[in-house]
Structure 1
Amino acid sequence: MEEPQETLFAVLIRQLGWEDYEVFSARYAETARRLADVTRTPAVASAHLEKRQFDRWRRAGLKRPPRREARRVLDELFPGHSVELLFRPVATASASGRAECSQEAPEASIDSGIEDVVMTAANESARFAAQAEGSNVGPHTMEQLEADIRRIVCTYPNRPVGPLFQEVRELRNHAFRLLEGKQPPAYTRDLYLASAVLCGVLANASFDLGCYSAAETQARSAFLCGELAGHNGVRAWIRGLQALIAYWDGRPTDAVRLAEAGSGYIPEGGTAHIRLASVKARALGQLGRSSDALGALHAADTLRDATNGADDLPGGMLAFLPEKQLFYASSTLLWLGGDQHLADAESRAQEAVAMFSSAEPGERRLGEENLARIDLALARLGRGDVDGAAEQVHEVIGINSRRHTESVARRLAYFRRDLSRHAAATSPSAIALREALMAHQHHTSTALPPGETA
């Protein structure tokens, strides 16, 4: 007798580290409670998953579809994957949708599975970090390394991640090789700082490719290098990145904890603490802690007023621009809901979009601009302006068709879900928009390399 085929659900929970029933059921129950609070539907909070049902979901041949409450929780846990797709045999599901990290990047020099390459790079960083816990460098070498890093962090927001990942990995390995030699202590510190930044960029890129486990490994190695460099600015920035990964991974409590841990490192200068407060606000908003979330937004504004514009980090993707702060605030306010918060979210997202779109063509942060536009669309949808929301989403589809990002794909999936539940879901504008979103999802799942997550 043949063994039952595994479902896409089984593949996804294995990739996310949720294979154990106790781990997944805890995540499932937490999501059900949060969804009940956000949507004000108490029935969802009672959703409970028995182990027998969990085991059935992992094997193809499910006889009965999940109940309505379970479907809503699964939509929240796996945005972008329909419940029907989740329980198909994985070979069938892969023809209709993709699991995380399965997408190949045609523009990249990575020819085989991107996940293998990303995980290999993460393991290399982890091995180095383990060795580091236990002169071949001169001024020219350091100047070149620092110049390469500045170029990479400044061009990251506009480049496909595939080719960039390979380049950063090679540069990081070069810094590691230099550290294995002998050099004056001052150069050792500079090399550890360079390695921290490069591992941080690889963490960000791994995250953008949807490989959260690899991203967290790279971030831990980056933080260790920052510790060895004794550099508070990079330590605060890495803690912010770790908090961001936790937030997008559906772990808002961890995101708050990491953001608070990062605030203990007083940067030499720059915007790392503004970012920490803004990520914390988003996570608190996701948890429904309204007064705390608004307090974190106020703290970010206060820190922005106090900054002097100097930065001890190389700028580019490591800098937290005012327009980025604005759309983090809009995301926070969207989580909180209510007429006034929706109006404030629309205002901040609109201002962020205007600032992003006014940048010089070579300096536009397209992924972040798209996320701000989706926030603006969600705010307008929440206020009943379907046509205004559609205008922004069509802009996003146009940009994302040229430069695909994982975060934008996720946010579009959330938007499509909210649109399908809207009172005007059957209007011609809403129907046309859903069709455009479905066509875009099909196109980008097979054709384009991913980019950055904000």
Structure 2
Amino acid sequence: MDQGRRTVLFLLATRRGIRSHQAFSDEYTRVAEQLRVDGYDVSPPPAPRQWERLLKFGEVKTTPHALTARVLERMFGRPVVDLLRPASDIHELEPDCSTRAPSPPVLDESDLLMTARDAASHASEAASLHLDEMTLDQLHDDLVQLARKYGCTAPAEVFQDANGLLHQAQVLLERTRSPEQHTRLYYAAAQASALLAAVSFDLGALAPAVSFARSSAQYGKTIGHGPVQAYAYGMLAFMAFWDGRPSEAVRHAKAAHQFGGLGDTARRRLYSIEARAHGHLRNNDQAERAIRDALEQSSGHRDELHDDIGGEFGFDAARTAMSNATTCLLLRNADGAENFATRALTLLKTLPTTAQPIVVSGPAAVDLARARLLRNDLEGAQEALTPVFQVAPKWRSSGMMERLTAARIELTRPAIRSAPAALSLAEQIEDFSALSPARRLGAANPLAIEA
């Protein structure tokens, strides 16, 4: 231990030969028993981790409990506040100490044996702070399951599960000293934070979503994990253009490409997000180029997060098509939007009904409706929105609701706004939106698809 960080307690315990937790606990128990015989109440010995904190100056923020302090003061003959002072203050506390330079210590075999026992005790304590691998395996499996069922689980339920898994990872990090286990747990914390970022956005809570995405990126940086950092930066890019900062979104997306270890899925997702950002900037050429880049990712490279775990971390052909439809709407390209939205819905229909992610199918259906509204096809828009209006309130994510808000604005165009079908459809949208979780949370309606 750095000498500047030692306490007086460290120095005195070392002099007494009770530096190790086991030796200290034995002596503490003996003195505590004497105090009990004398009629005093006492506490059990401090746990190993608390003992180590007592030996480091500045680690203990509050004075130990009175029942513990009583034993420490009897053991060392000093007030507990003095015991927690820096070891350099020992001369102030021992005025009879000579001012002459101390003589070199004389070592004998007992000193060496004591030092060896201290080292052995510390090594034993470190070895005990190693988690059962099955605990980490279960945490990993729970995160994989949650990521894969994300699109078919109500956002509020995802939030509760992801929050519990993040807390579990944080607690376990305090219970192990294994570098390998720390790496696994920081990765788990990064995944849980990323899922919390995604679901916070779906619930319409932008500020927490940004905070969780940054936490995910930071956890990923701690262990040098490129794919999870890229995912987090993609989330930040997505939320930046959703919050009206498309230029910042482009920068985030481009920065995400610089992380190592990314597979085709990761890059396809980043190019699709970048395309949306360029769409907000009305930069047709750059948006169309990013769409092409997204569709051309076919090197065969994979990464564990986006491909092996997948689910919410994945970005399959249906999700790519849905995102591209949204970009085309930003560019007022009705034909392109309808083609991409139709492709997304067609791909989803190949899956079992229970496996079709509402977070993709809902937005794709709304995009299809809006593409038809651009051509004044009210009947076609109504047909596209029919399955959307059947979605239960708990599934009405902010991504779906912002698209519906954009569709509602389309219905105000002079060419169609007075038509009975347009008035009826507008009323349906308003009634549907009123019961969304995002609206109940008081979220505003910034548009990812601008009118």
TM-score range, shorter chain: 0.5 to 0.7
Q: How does 1:292-371 map to 2 (within 5 A)?
A: 292-303=286-297, 305-308=298-301, 311-313=304-306, 314-337=309-332, 341-371=333-363
What TM-score, normalized by structure 1, do the two folds share? 0.65
1:206 and 2:175 correspond: no
Asked whether the equivalents of residues 393 and 437 of structure 2 are also in contact (C-alpha less than 8 Å), the reply is: no
CA gap of 1:402–1:356, structure 2 versus 1, over 3 A, is farther
Q: How does 1:44-193 map to 2 (within 5 A)?
A: 135-193=129-187
CA gap of 1:419–1:236, structure 2 versus 1, over 3 A, is same
User: Aligned partners of 2:285, 2:172: CA distance in 1, in Å?
Assistant: 49
User: Aligned partners of 2:435, 2:146: CA distance in 1, in Å?
Assistant: 28
Cross-structure match for 1:215: 209
What TM-score, normalized by structure 2, do the two folds share? 0.66
Tell me the amino acid that sits aligned with residue 235 of structure 1.
Q
Cross-structure match for 2:281: 287
- Aligned residue among 372, 379, 392 for 1:387: 379
Cross-structure match for 1:253: 247
Shift of 1:448: 8.1
- Aligned residue among 399, 408, 417 for 2:400: 408
Stretches of structure 1 that go unaligned for 5 or more consecutive residues are: 1-134
Which range moves more in the overlay, 184-193 or 392-401? 392-401
> Percent same amino acid at aligned positions?
30
User: Aligned partners of 2:366, 2:356: CA distance in 1, in Å?
Assistant: 16
Shift of 1:226: 0.5
CA gap of 1:158–1:347, structure 2 versus 1, over 3 A, is same
Cross-structure match for 1:374: 366
> C-alpha offsets along residues 81-119 of structure 1, whole Å, 9 cap, x if unaligned?
xxxxxxxxxxxxxxxxxxxxxxxxxxxxxxxxxxxxxxx
Cross-structure match for 1:119: none
User: Aligned partners of 2:270, 2:312: CA distance in 1, in Å?
Assistant: 15
Cross-structure match for 1:23: none
User: Aligned partners of 1:224, 1:373: CA distance in 2, in Å?
Assistant: 35
CA gap of 1:402–1:232, structure 2 versus 1, over 3 A, is closer
Shift of 1:181: 2.8
1:234 and 2:214 correspond: no
Tell me the amino acid that sits aligned with residue 397 of structure 1.
F
1:441 and 2:436 correspond: no
CA gap of 1:287–1:178, structure 2 versus 1, over 3 A, is same
1:432 and 2:424 correspond: yes
Which structure ranks higher in relative contact order (CA pairs < 8 Å, sequence separation ≥ 6)? 1
Which range moves more in the overlay, 305-314 or 226-235? 305-314
Moved over 6 A (4+): 445-450
User: Aligned partners of 2:376, 2:326: CA distance in 1, in Å?
Assistant: 18
User: Aligned partners of 1:309, 1:199: CA distance in 2, in Å?
Assistant: 22
User: Aligned partners of 1:394, 1:187: CA distance in 2, in Å?
Assistant: 49
How large is the Cα RMSD of the aligned pairs?
Answer: 2.3
- Aligned residue among 267, 271, 274 for 1:273: 267
Asked whether the equivalents of residues 136 and 178 of structure 1 are also in contact (C-alpha less than 8 Å), the reply is: no
Asked whether the equivalents of residues 369 and 381 of structure 2 are also in contact (C-alpha less than 8 Å), the reply is: yes
Shift of 1:242: 0.9
User: Aligned partners of 2:194, 2:304: CA distance in 1, in Å?
Assistant: 17
Stretches of structure 2 that go unaligned for 5 or more consecutive residues are: 1-128
CA gap of 1:449–1:361, structure 2 versus 1, over 3 A, is farther
CA gap of 1:256–1:386, structure 2 versus 1, over 3 A, is same
Aligned residues: 314
Cross-structure match for 2:415: 423
User: Aligned partners of 2:436, 2:275: CA distance in 1, in Å?
Assistant: 31
Shift of 1:323: 0.7
User: Aligned partners of 1:274, 1:310: CA distance in 2, in Å?
Assistant: 13
Shift of 1:284: 0.2
Which range moves more in the overlay, 278-287 or 352-361? 352-361
User: Aligned partners of 1:252, 1:207: CA distance in 2, in Å?
Assistant: 17
